[in-house]
């Protein structure tokens, strides 16, 4: 029983790995398909997994990385539009 409680606590405090964070940052939205606001298949399934298994910190960080990625791409488009004028 003690190991189960330890594992539950570890799940809540385990941060995203660098590769997971990069995936959420560089692929925040779906690039293929009609609905551009829907997350990519991988990101959506990972978020569901984080919710299901109570990875609280990973879920919070993944949402932050998605928002950061969206801001990054919007800023990049604004900079490109500025230089193309």
Q: Where are the domains of the chain?
A: 2-84
pTM score of the predicted model: 0.79
Angle between helices 56-84 and 41-52 (to 10 degrees): 150
Question: pLDDT averaged over consecutive 10-residue blocks of the chain (85 residues)?
Answer: 81 89 86 56 86 91 94 96 93
Q: Determine the Cα–Cα distance for residues 20 and 17; give it in Å rounded to an integer.
A: 5
What is the pLDDT at residue 77?
96
Q: pLDDT at position 84, please? A: 94
Burial 4-35 (b: 16+ CB within 10 A, else e): eeeeeeeeeeeebeeebbebbbebbebeeeee
């Amino acid at each position: 029983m003690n190991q189960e409680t330890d594992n539950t606590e570890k799940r809540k405090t385990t941060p995203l790995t660098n590769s997971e964070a990069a995936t959420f940052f560089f692929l925040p939205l779906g690039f293929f398909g009609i609905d551009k606001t829907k997350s990519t298949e991988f990101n959506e399934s990972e978020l569901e997994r984080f919710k299901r298994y109570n990875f609280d910190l990973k879920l919070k960080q993944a949402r932050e990385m998605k928002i950061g990625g969206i801001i990054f791409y919007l800023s990049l488009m604004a900079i490109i539009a500025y230089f193309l004028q």
